[in-house]
């Protein structure tokens, strides 16, 4: 049976583009809660989002097939569709596993930043995406808002300029997911310079979030203190598997805890948060 996919675009002004993502067959039933899982995906980042309406979103795909295995645990053995994949940057640790996901699952939309595909993984993603006729593919930038039924939205805070000539980290998509009064700030691997710029550009009420993801495996100098204060997260998650580099950095973890946040890493397990639109609770603890 051929599945239907509906995506409508409504442009508002020049800088704001709102995308209504209306899913029918590409959604499973939702339970009225937002679930955000930071997958145990080795030396890479992969985040799986299940919206209250049943939409499924994969943000980054980790480095390799370990993401595919972690994703199967989230979706179950019979589910073979994903509503959307968002590739926040083209580094191998983010895009390396997306190719296999596109090959295994039916995906409704692919969202990327406007950066050259320099890694092998990102080139493979671009190649297979160009062959999937039914899948919508668009580049996002600041002002893009993706709306899902039942109140979930994803706002793109960065990039706010042409990033085709920058490195992958600097051109990373910075995302903020909101549901009711709760929010998740996902800055990918945006360097401290971008964090400082967004701290100046956006009021603390815009950045303030229950959950903050820290990029660069939580390495030294991966987190700007003023940015951290503006976000003032309840929880901090660092996607970092077992490694010989000492990630996450002790100082980075200390700074996050000093702000009052509980800190989790994906070294030993997937970390899942659940929001009812009022409160966020963590299901997995270490």
Domains of the chain as residue ranges with CATH: 6-280 (3.60.15.10)
DSSP 162: -
Q: Exposure string (b/e) for 33-64, b if CB count within 10 Å is 16 or more?
A: ebbbbbbbbbbbbbbbbbbbbbbbbbbbbbbb
pTM score, whole prediction:
0.89
3-state SS class at 31: coil
**Residue 48 phi, psi (nearest 5):** -110, 130
Summarize pLDDT for 1-23 with one digit per residue, the tens.
334 343 434 333 334 556 665 54
Summarize pLDDT for 159-202 with one digit per residue, the tens.
999 988 888 889 999 999 999 999 999 999 999 999 999 999 99
The residue-averaged pLDDT of 103-118 equals 89
Which residue in 256, 252, 209 sits closest to 233, CA to CA?
209
What does the block give as tokens for 138? Answer: 């668009």
* Residue of 47 and 96 predicted with greater confidence: 47
Sequence-ordered strand ranges (E) for 160-207: 174-179, 182-186
What does the block give as tokens for 43? Answer: 């030396």
């Amino acid at each position: 049976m051929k599945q239907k996919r509906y995506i409508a675009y409504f442009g508002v002004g020049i800088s704001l583009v709102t995308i209504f993502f209306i899913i029918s067959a590409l959604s499973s039933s939702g339970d009225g809660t937002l679930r955000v899982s930071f997958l145990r995906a080795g030396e890479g980042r992969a985040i799986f989002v299940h919206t209250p309406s049943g939409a499924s979103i994969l943000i980054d795909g980790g480095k390799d097939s370990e993401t595919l295995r972690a994703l199967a645990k989230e979706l179950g053995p019979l589910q073979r569709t994903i509503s959307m994949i968002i590739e926040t940057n083209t580094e191998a640790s983010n895009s390396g596993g997306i190719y296999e996901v596109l090959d295994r699952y039916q995906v409704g939309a692919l969202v990327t930043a406007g950066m050259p595909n320099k890694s092998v993984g990102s080139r493979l993603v671009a190649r297979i995406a160009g062959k999937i006729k039914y899948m919508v593919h668009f580049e996002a930038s600041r002002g893009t808002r993706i709306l899902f039924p039942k109140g979930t939205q994803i706002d793109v805070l960065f990039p706010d300029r042409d990033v085709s000539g920058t490195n992958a980290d600097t051109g990373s998509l910075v995302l903020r997911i909101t549901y009711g009064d709760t929010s998740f700030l996902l800055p990918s691997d945006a360097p401290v310079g971008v964090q400082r710029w967004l701290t100046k550009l956006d009021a603390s009420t815009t950045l303030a979030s229950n959950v903050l993801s820290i990029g660069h495996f939580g390495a030294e100098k991966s987190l700007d203190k003023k940015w951290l204060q503006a976000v003032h997260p309840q929880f901090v998650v660092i996607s970092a598997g077992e490694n010989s580099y000492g990630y996450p950095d002790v100082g980075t973890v200390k700074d996050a805890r000093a702000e009052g946040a509980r800190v989790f890493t994906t070294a030993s397990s997937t970390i899942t948060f659940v929001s009812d639109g009022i409160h966020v609770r963590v299901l997995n603890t270490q």
